[in-house]
Amino acid sequence: MRSARCARLPGKSNRPPSRNASGKQAQSIPGRRDLTGGAGAARAGAEGCGQALCAGVPRRRREGKAIDADRRCRGQPRARSREQSRPERRHEAGVEGAGMAAAGGPRRRLVHLDMKGAPPRASYLAEVRGCRRRRWVEGSPRPGPARPQRSLSPPAPQVLPLLRALGATGLLLEYEDTFPWSGPLEPLRAPHAYSPGEVRAALSQARAQRLEVVPLVQTFGHMEFVLKHKEFAHLREVKMFPNALNPHKEESRALVKAMIDQVMALHEDVKWFHIGCDEVYYLGEGEESKQWLQQPDNTPEKLCLSHIKAVASCVVSSYPAVTPVVWDDMLRGMSEETLAESGVPQLVQPMIWDYAADLDVEGKVHLIEKYRRCGFSKVWFASAFKGATGVNQSLTLIGHHLKNHLQWLKVASSSPAEVLEGIALTGWQRYDHFSVLCELLPVAIPSLAVCLQALKNGGYSEKIKENVEKLLGMSNLETETFMSASLGTFPGSNILPLVTQVSFYLKSSVDELLERNRYVTGWFSPYHRKRKIIHPIIMHHFQPDAVSLLSKWNVVVQDLQAAMEQVFHKCTVEEWMEENVHPSLQKLQQVVDDLDKAIKAQN
């Protein structure tokens, strides 16, 4: 879903499962009947990859004019500049499904919560009562009598009420491996996944806050969290790469249906279901696809559309009140004739994503007009409030994301009010399942607040800035630099200034001492350290500074770790620390230890 997102870099998708992988013991490969539960199992309903995902779904015409082979939607890896976004319109008071407000903001504003590999604690999102986890990780003690647990005090205020206060009208939830998958899908479930009770509690509070929920399940591209497991590796489009699903296999369709059914079982009364289908890299390059493409009139575009149609048909057939939503990047380059003849426009609503600060307004308006001519009744926009400016970004530049949203407002105001369903403010946590963490959610809440308020009010002004500061409890909100001088009172606000300190000063202060201090570089080089040589006089010129610096940073890191543990599980805290703290802190610690050894050797 992010050809321009600068986010998903397929080169990284071949890495072995990292810290965010579930690490669960592989089980036997499930058959189609196991996945779907017997009688409701998916059947092959049509030829090629356009077969229906569930029995009883009528086949639709798949004929279409052939497109030049050079224009195949093979989805070559592009730098995922998660710098793109989409518009949102103001929600008119008390009118469900009303058109755009006079200010030009989208009426539905969904906050995208990307959970992949590192979900926020359920208690951080919503008040969780009576949701005891009944699972345990293999190798850990079995559940026994309840024991007193150390409480993390003070308890973090919940995020969902704040989102509503800031102007959100709904949530776009992308669980990946943090969903409580069960049965044959249990290998997808990470040890830190939510329990069914935690999901229900969060959804209950979302309803209490009048936040509409739209679940998101990848069903074509970006299926690394599924296809990395040996139970499902045989369903890859290309054997080597775990990113794209083979659209030709009946078992692929059964897998998709089983995932949709399990998510829908916990998400009752939803109106939309996002089926992903973005960045289907290497589509058409699998052996079965190559054979299929040799047949007359078959093209990669038709291959892509037939799978999207099959998934959407399954959703519509099984859940008639639900409308499928799909990322639009695989559709943008297709001809109007190909799109119109595919039958896809009658089944799905495309979500146009673009995260750039200089988003092309005119180009987006023309794209919307094209989609309307093809038969799409509604479109969504997708912007970004974090995770779109660097794969290992640790701090959020609010100004970039604000400009992106202001551009989407221009697109909204230049398009017919009745065509825009809403906007999703994406908050990418990783560029793909195997990449490192980008900005943590608490770090990006000020950016989210600014963007939501800009969309709700149709623009941004000094008055709106003051309102954001009031809602966040911040005395001075900086949008044009990464620096945050104000602590704030929003959930997880104590994490932001600590992350800022680490990001700006940890590495630079350690490098200043160890690489630019002449006493260290001249009298305690790696050569001296290895042989435990130290001049007794020179030692006094840098030992106090090294010990003091290490002590100061240890205090900061301990405070940050304690703050992060209120919001994230231990594995997420460890991952962030290993990526952003340990390299510099361990280097400093090692020099201090070597200095102590050298002093003892001298004595």
What is the mean predicted confidence (pLDDT) over 58-63?
30
Q: Does pLDDT of 412 surpass 80?
A: yes
Structural contact between residues 222 and 68, judged by C-beta atoms closer than 8 angstroms: no
First to last CA, the chain: 64
Residue pLDDT, tens place only, 129-177: 554 443 333 333 433 433 333 334 444 578 999 999 999 999 999 999 9
Q: Which of 365, 366, 364 is nearest to 353 (CA)?
A: 364
Q: Quick one: pLDDT at residue 537? A: 85
In sequence order, what DSSP letters do the residues of 367-401 get, joined into one string?
A: HHHHHHHHT---EEEEEEEESSS-TT--S--HHHH
Residue pLDDT, tens place only, 191-241: 999 999 999 999 999 999 999 999 999 999 999 999 999 999 999 999 999
Structural contact between residues 300 and 292, judged by C-beta atoms closer than 8 angstroms: no
The CA-atom distances, in angstroms, between 500 and each of 397, 444, 448, 588 are 12, 12, 17, 20
Q: Quick one: pLDDT at residue 12? A: 33
Residue pLDDT, tens place only, 23-52: 333 333 233 333 333 333 333 333 333 333
Q: Quick one: pLDDT at residue 128? A: 58
pTM of the predicted protein model = 0.80
What is the mean predicted confidence (pLDDT) over 415-429?
96
* Cα separation, 141 vs 69, whole angstroms: 57
Q: Does pLDDT of 410 surpass 80?
A: yes
Q: Quick one: pLDDT at residue 540? A: 85
Structural contact between residues 143 and 136, judged by C-beta atoms closer than 8 angstroms: yes
Please indicate whether residue 279 is annotated as part of the active site. Answer: yes
From the list 88, 174, 198, 279, the catalytic residue is 279
Provide the 10 A C-beta neighbour count for residue 22. 21
Q: Quick one: pLDDT at residue 95? A: 28
Q: Name the band, by pLDDT with cuts 50, 70 and 90, for residue 482.
A: confident
Q: Quick one: pLDDT at residue 139? A: 38
Percent of the chain topping pLDDT 90: 69
Residue pLDDT, tens place only, 63-121: 332 333 333 333 333 333 433 333 333 333 332 333 344 455 799 999 999 998 889 99
* Cα separation, 45 vs 58, whole angstroms: 8
Q: Quick one: pLDDT at residue 49? A: 37
Q: Name the band, by pLDDT with cuts 50, 70 and 90, for residue 15.
A: very low
* Cα separation, 272 vs 323, whole angstroms: 5
Residue 326 forms beta bridges with which residues? 350
